[in-house]
Structure 1
């Protein structure tokens, strides 16, 4: 960018906006974040995320750039956030669905095919029901709320300011970075909502230490440990703009898949449930859309925690020397 800005206004304090604030404040910019909710993260889709950093598993359905940027993001999370848990991911199927595991193995890389004995070492509670799994050793996870709270605090320590409870922002700032997700759809009409539903359960009888993906022909499932004997159950991706409470059908599907994974989930306590709506463009690719004094960072689909750090780094590089990742940057929207 030819004229580097001094003051930057960031709109939106989901995980995308938080990482933009953190990265740019640490580089010495004068950053202010504006968030419409009065309480941090109250209106963000990020708080419904699983916060799995699983770039190798995403190879099964996502483009190569998701893997590449995701690997960079894991490094940035590890460098910055002490709560990053690198225990890998475990992908498995019931014996009757073995072809799904074989397909997943062909579509992904850097995994170890393991049998019952190794499953017993990694997750003792699963070895009596599963004979084979794929282990992705370098993948990571953490509870999303704790990670967002850390990101806000770290950005403030780096000098960023947060203004909550308002849609207004400083229009005289040298640069505005818009990270509002679906809140920016009036400007980005191609954006659509992708509803993600999740249930949080608590059980002292279950002891999982890493994200588990259960492949299933109708309803796949992921289970993510959150600490304090809590687990997030999720996997739904519905074309919908409606957040709020989870549907009965999804509840039955998720709980049924969890019971198939480990019958002890049948005795677990349901702690919370809900649905968030994630922003996506038609091709599910994120965009960094550049126009004079205004940049949109949007369309992260279901990869918010996985891509946010790397996208913040790409924006910072662009501001410093004009470097652009052509597959992600676009020029439009005269303002």
Structure 2
């Protein structure tokens, strides 16, 4: 509208929280600058994320709030990044000796279909005859987090958003609002670190079309296909703020679980071993808060890509209208 001043906003942090917040702010007409101490987008924990948009699966341990706020995430990402989201759902399986885990998972989640071995083989031919039954969540999706964040950066740059990466101090301080998405580096005193470790494995000849979760009473694991024979293996949740190298025990547990899903992982090439520390509040649910002219988005725990769109919309509303969207 002519004569209406443009709101100038500084977004601190270029992980998934900062990038989705910048996207929502730009969409509403704000002038946005993004800074991050790293020389690339992706932050810390976001760079090592699985990229699963799986609210009904995650509700098994996280509760209904994840479904309420994350249920629209597949649509948000599909609209923001056309062609970057796979909407093939999620498959959950368990070995015969762990089939009780499948029943427990089904009882604590929703949005699934109970399927038999024939249906598993139809969904994932390379898992044929390996599992007697499973759960299929048809409305879930996944994406490649790194590619998604890089595409968001490209779109934001095209829209006029300014990036200062590898920078500690913004080039100027004349901003109307600040949106703080700096995770454990922010001023919240009740945040804790939850360490997650992941592997990127390259496997010749194995094809999966969707994330597959293998249930186990002690070491549940998820396997996310990234295309061209690349798979992300993850699941560790260690109560620690240490971002040091991955432990041998975690790597062995992830490799053993992947091998239990399919023996082809025994011949895999390890492309990368990564560690990310996720910020989490005591209830493991994110918060959008305001203190003066600073809005904070934090505490995503293991649900960054799933819950970031909803939290970004709330933060944009607070920044521009004073009301959460």
Match of 1:254 in 2: 254
> Is 1:280 aligned with 2:276?
no
Q: Secondary structure at the match of 1:256?
A: helix
Match of 1:71 in 2: 71
Gaps of 5+ in 1: 326-335
CA RMSD, aligned part only? 1.5
Whole-angstrom CA distance in 2 between matches of 1:199 and 1:320: 40
Displacement of 1:223 = 0.1
8 Å CA contact retained: 2:6, 2:29: no
Q: Secondary structure at the match of 1:239?
A: coil
Match of 1:92 in 2: 93
TM-score for the superposition, normalised by structure 2: 0.95
Q: Secondary structure at the match of 2:266?
A: helix
Whole-angstrom CA distance in 1 between matches of 2:180 and 2:321: 20
Gaps of 5+ in 2: none
Displacement of 1:318 = 3.1
Whole-angstrom CA distance in 2 between matches of 1:5 and 1:278: 34
Displacement of 1:320 = 4.5
- Kindly provide the CA deviation profile for residues 203-248 of structure 1, in whole angstroms up to 9, marking residues without a partner as x: 1221111000000011111000011110001100001111242110
Whole-angstrom CA distance in 1 between matches of 2:120 and 2:285: 35
8 Å CA contact retained: 2:7, 2:320: no
Displacement of 1:172 = 2.6
8 Å CA contact retained: 2:285, 2:299: yes
Match of 2:144 in 1: 143
Match of 2:154 in 1: 153
> Is 1:7 aligned with 2:8?
yes
Displacement of 1:5 = 7.0
- Kindly provide the CA deviation profile for residues 162-221 of structure 1, in whole angstroms up to 9, marking residues without a partner as x: 01111213433100000001111xx11211111000011001221111000000011111
- Give the alignment of 1:234-249 within 5 angstroms: 234-249=234-249
- Kindly provide the CA deviation profile for residues 23-64 of structure 1, in whole angstroms up to 9, marking residues without a partner as x: 1112110100011112333x5210100000000001101131
Match of 1:59 in 2: 59
8 Å CA contact retained: 1:287, 1:297: yes
> Is 1:37 aligned with 2:25?
no
Q: Secondary structure at the match of 1:61?
A: helix
Match of 2:216 in 1: 216
8 Å CA contact retained: 2:196, 2:237: yes
Whole-angstrom CA distance in 2 between matches of 1:183 and 1:4: 32
Whole-angstrom CA distance in 2 between matches of 1:210 and 1:298: 28
Q: Secondary structure at the match of 2:78?
A: helix
- Paired residue total: 320
Q: Secondary structure at the match of 1:204?
A: coil
Displacement of 1:302 = 0.7
Whole-angstrom CA distance in 2 between matches of 1:190 and 1:300: 13
Whole-angstrom CA distance in 1 between matches of 2:250 and 2:281: 24
Cα gap change, 1:4 to 1:118, in 2 (>3 Å)? farther
Whole-angstrom CA distance in 2 between matches of 1:127 and 1:191: 43
> Is 1:105 aligned with 2:99?
no
Whole-angstrom CA distance in 2 between matches of 1:209 and 1:77: 18
Whole-angstrom CA distance in 2 between matches of 1:84 and 1:310: 17
> Is 1:46 aligned with 2:46?
yes
> Is 1:122 aligned with 2:137?
no
